[in-house]
Amino acid sequence: MSDPQDAARFLLARERHSGLDNVGFLPLNGPMDVWISIMYLFLCGQSFMPHEIADALINHCAQAAREDGLQPGLTTREWEVLHMVAQGAANKNIAADLDLSIHTVKLHIHNLLRKIGVSNRTCAASWFMEHHSGQPDPHRGAHGGS
């Protein structure tokens, strides 16, 4: 896919059906040293997304969040999970850092996605970054604010 908007639409459609824990893109038009570094990331179980695609996703999710004018009422734990999702942490890392099971992390993510009105973790991360400047506010969930 050469168009970032097409790639963003692909990611959003794919996540609705199966989740995107380990999706990456290998841009074949870049320098060889960059390509090799990306391949190394893939071999280590990491992912890579060119900034054009990430920007398209963030713009799409930010627009959806602005249109919704959300007041989520997340719990303290949901704020903590959302903060880690926004930092790009995988479910297993969130579980380990917060001393939770992966099942519990998935349940928190499911609930917070519903509460903030987005369909996937990428949009949730974008929503968090736009509305909270990257800073968690665990008291918001306890008091029902946004």
Residue 12 scores a pLDDT above 70? no
Burial class (CB in 10 A: 0-12, 13-18, 19+), 130: middle
Identify the weakest region by mean pLDDT among 22-36, 52-66, 121-135. Answer: 52-66
Q: Residue 50: enclosing H or E segment and its boundaries?
A: none
**Average pLDDT for 51-74:** 66
> Which CATH number does 77-132 carry?
1.10.10.10
Q: 3-class secondary structure for 105-134? A: HHHHHHHHHHHHCCCCHHHHHHHHHHHHCC
Query: By three-state DSSP, how is residue 119 classified?
Result: coil
Query: What pLDDT band is residue 52 in, cutting at 50, 70 and 90?
Result: confident
How many other CB atoms are found less than 10 A from the CB of residue 46? 13
77 to 6, 18, 40: CA distances (angstroms): 34, 24, 34
| In the chain, % of residues over pLDDT 90 | 17
pLDDT score at 145: 41
Q: Where does the chain hold its CATH 1.10.10.10 domain(s)? A: 77-132
pLDDT digits (tens, 9 = 90+) for 69-112: 555 677 888 888 998 998 889 999 999 999 999 999 999 999 99
**For residue 93, how far is the Cα from the chain centroid?**
14
**Average pLDDT for 132-139:** 49
pLDDT digits (tens, 9 = 90+) for 17-37: 555 555 667 777 788 888 888
> What is the pTM (predicted TM-score) of this model?
0.48
Contacts (Cβ under 8 Å, ≥6 apart) of 105: 81, 91, 94, 95, 98
Query: What pLDDT band is residue 143 in, cutting at 50, 70 and 90?
Result: very low
pLDDT digits (tens, 9 = 90+) for 40-50: 888 887 777 77
